Amino acid sequence: MSKKMKMGVLGLLLVTPSFLVLLVIVVLPIVLSFKESLKNKSGGYDLSNYEYLFTDKLMRSNIIFTLEVTVISCVLVLIISYALAAFMRFSQGMAVRWIKRLYMIPLFIPSVIATYGLIQLLGNHGWANRLLLAAHMGQLPRIIFDIKGIIIASLWFNIPFTTMLLGSALTAIPNSIVESAKDVGAGRLQIFFRFILPMTYKTLLVAVTFVFMGVIGSFTAPFLLGPNAPQMLGVSMEQVFSVFHEKEQAAALAFFTFLLCSGLGYFYIRSMIAEESVKNALLG
């Protein structure tokens, strides 16, 4: 057996355990869920459960509501996280030191506790409203049991991790690049769009993928902070399965959510492959 063949066999042996774990934990449940979603009430197989997702008024509103929350949350998380990461990278002072010490704290607070804290702070009888009423300044608009509550919770859960990702990418940018651009008269916006953003694009795409999948599949915050209708897909799935006992419809919801995440995953993988091809072409 040649050395090249031995290395190939060794590589296959090394990846086999990971592949088997992936097969059992991810692939098989997806296949079984898809099979379950095709069952109809008469025991046959068709697309009636998927037809229900797009013809039922409540289900359509749940899908639109979920996409709305996810897109808004992703945009806000990326803007705020990028601003924080850039501020910590290119600024100095006491404010930067305090942000570096505090911005990771939400990662260590369980989601249930954080959600309960938001209810106590922003609810109709929460601390914020009590303080405003005591100061004769009116009261906050409805936040809890509304789309705003879910978005605020999504920001709380996702900003620290996204800031950490983008911060590591910004740290890798040499100061000499920024200083050279300033020397030739480039403004801040030019430096950002021509140098900083292209050099952090890959990490930004990773951050978008993680935030999108985290928000669209979330349950705790939408269940405790969201409205009764429309609902996020995770909450709707739980209601369909446990309250209405429609296992096939719940499986269709689960597989549809998987398809939404797969679409973004495909875009991410395709972008990485294109970038790698360009890199190999330049090196070759």
Return the domain boundaries, the chain: 68-283
Yes or no: say if 66 and 256 are a contact pair by the CB < 8 Å rule: no
Q: How many CB atoms lie within 10 A of CB 97?
A: 11
| DSSP 8-state assignment for residue 155 | H
Arithmetic mean of pLDDT over the chain:
88
Per-residue pLDDT reduced to its tens digit, 142-184: 888 899 999 999 999 999 999 999 999 999 888 888 888 888 8
User: What is this structure's pTM?
Assistant: 0.86
Mean pLDDT, residues 202-224: 91
Question: 177: closest CA among 161, 194, 189, 160?
Answer: 194
Query: Given this model, what pLDDT does residue 235 score?
Result: 93
Query: What is the spatial distance between Cα 249 and Cα 235, in angstroms, rounded to a whole number?
Result: 13
Residues 6+ apart with CB under 8 A from 42: none
pLDDT single digits (tens) 223-265:
999 998 899 999 999 999 888 888 999 999 999 999 988 888 8
Euclidean distance between CA atoms 144 and 150, whole angstroms: 8
Which residue is associated with the tokens 């042996």?
13
- Confidence band of 284 (pLDDT split at 50, 70, 90): low
DSSP 68-93: HHHHHHHHHHHHHHHHHHHHHHH--S
CB-based contact 163:219 (threshold 8 Å): no
Q: Going by C-beta distance under 8 Å and a sequence separation of 6 or more, which residues neighbour residue 143?
A: 122, 123, 149, 152
Tens digits of residue pLDDT in 86-135: 999 888 889 888 988 888 999 889 989 999 999 998 888 888 888 888 88
Phi, psi of 44 (to 5 degrees): -90, -170
Give pLDDT, residue 71: 95
What does the alpha-carbon distance between residue 215 and residue 222 come to, in Å, rounded to a whole number? 9
Residue 1 confidence (pLDDT) above 70: no
Predicted confidence (pLDDT) at residue 281 exceeds the cutoff of 80:
no
Judged on CB neighbours under 10 Å (0-12, 13-18, 19+), 109 is middle
The percent helix, strand, coil of the chain (3-state, each to 5) is 80, 0, 20
Per-residue confidence band for 283, with pLDDT thresholds at 50, 70 and 90: low
- Domain 68-283 class in CATH: mainly alpha
| Degrees, nearest 5: CA angle 99-104-110 | 140
N residues, the chain: 284
Q: Chain-centre distance of CA 39, in angstroms?
A: 31
Confidence of residue 280 (pLDDT cuts 50, 70, 90): low
